């Protein structure tokens, strides 16, 4: 059944696992939202570092101006990273079991981030000739690329689904969690709770997304995105795992998505969108 909705919020996370930016409008690209997860922090061997093992990353802010990625930290001067592509060649980045490429942003950025996080790290960006594919096992013949996201370039969540989760948390005498815990790209309103899991398409004027996989959540959702603290260990993961909105066992919230069409379209808050099942959408 097709249902109407609207976009209530848009977020980008320029540096994987650092704080995001609440956007009034943002351009859709073939690899997700513009500037979303185009940089990653790695250890000296190129292995990605996230809030899973470094919760303090949540306290580092990000911004984009016309010439720079800007990273901020409490009681530190800002780090300005030019948007112009560095001259360094691409080298190894490992995200889970996936090997891809990243261009190193130099020693100044590495020193700043290492001091802020208390560990030796590097900052790398997606190269211009990025070839990191989204799971061919899941997408079949459709070829989609992503930057440094865990696996998919977009995450769609719904306000009603968060309300349902918070109602269940209240039943267990646990505090509510904000949407920021789930680090979505698009938040939609005016849907029943978990309607995103019953749909395979989300589309609007000039664009179409494939909602292709429920997002299984990890311990990042236990991290307070303002303080970097874990105040209620294991939550809301434990509560999510007890809910039955997804058939699989596990803690799920939101839908992973890829772009079917609409590269160059500007998405904006209050934009009307439609959720539809596969048989009412364009066949893959």
Distance of alpha carbon 54 from alpha carbon 75, whole angstroms: 19
Closest by alpha carbon to 53, among 219, 271, 249? 219
Pick the CATH number of 3-280 from 2.40.33.20, 3.40.50.720, 2.120.10.30, 3.10.580.10: 2.40.33.20
Is the Cβ–Cβ distance between 203 and 276 less than 8 Å? yes
pLDDT digits (tens, 9 = 90+) for 44-59: 999 999 999 999 999 9
Residue with tokens 């001067």: 77
Distance of alpha carbon 284 from alpha carbon 275, whole angstroms: 16
Global pTM value? 0.95
Enumerate residue ranges in the chain where pLDDT < 70: 1, 278-284
Distance of alpha carbon 99 from alpha carbon 269, whole angstroms: 35
Tell me the residue length of the chain.
Answer: 284
* pLDDT recorded at residue 2: 81
Domain ranges of the chain: 3-280
pLDDT digits (tens, 9 = 90+) for 208-256: 999 999 999 999 999 999 999 998 999 999 999 999 999 999 999 999 9
Torsion angle of C-alpha atoms 279, 281, 283, 284, degrees rounded to 10? -120
């Amino acid at each position: 059944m097709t249902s109407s909705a609207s976009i209530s919020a848009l977020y980008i996370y320029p540096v994987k696992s650092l704080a995001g930016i609440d956007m009034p409008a943002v351009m859709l690209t073939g690899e997700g939202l513009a500037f979303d997860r185009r940089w990653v922090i790695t250890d000296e061997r190129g292995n990605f570092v996230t809030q899973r093992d470094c919760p303090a990353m949540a306290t580092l802010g990000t911004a984009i101006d016309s010439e720079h990625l800007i990273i901020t930290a409490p009681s530190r001067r800002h780090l300005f990273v030019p948007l112009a592509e560095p001259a360094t060649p691409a080298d190894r980045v490992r995200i889970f079991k996936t090997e891809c490429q990243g261009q190193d942003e130099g020693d100044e950025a590495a020193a700043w981030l290492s001091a802020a996080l208390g560990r030796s790290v590097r900052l790398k960006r997606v190269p211009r000739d990025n070839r990191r594919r989204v799971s061919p096992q899941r997408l079949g013949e459709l070829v989609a690329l992503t930057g440094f996201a865990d696996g998919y370039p977009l995450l769609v969540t719904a306000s009603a689904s968060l309300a349902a989760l918070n109602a269940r948390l209240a039943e267990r005498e646990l505090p509510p969690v904000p949407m920021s815990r789930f680090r979505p790209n698009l938040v939609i309103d005016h849907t029943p709770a978990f309607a995103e899991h019953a749909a395979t398409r989300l589309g609007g004027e000039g664009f179409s997304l494939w909602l292709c996989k429920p997002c299984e959540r990890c311990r990042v959702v236990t991290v307070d995105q303002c303080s970097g603290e874990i105040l209620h260990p294991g939550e809301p993961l434990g509560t999510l795992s007890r809910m039955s909105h997804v058939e699989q066992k596990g803690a799920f919230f939101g839908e992973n998505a890829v772009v079917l069409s609409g590269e160059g379209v500007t998405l904006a808050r209050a934009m009307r969108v439609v959720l539809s099942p596969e048989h009412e959408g364009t066949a893959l």
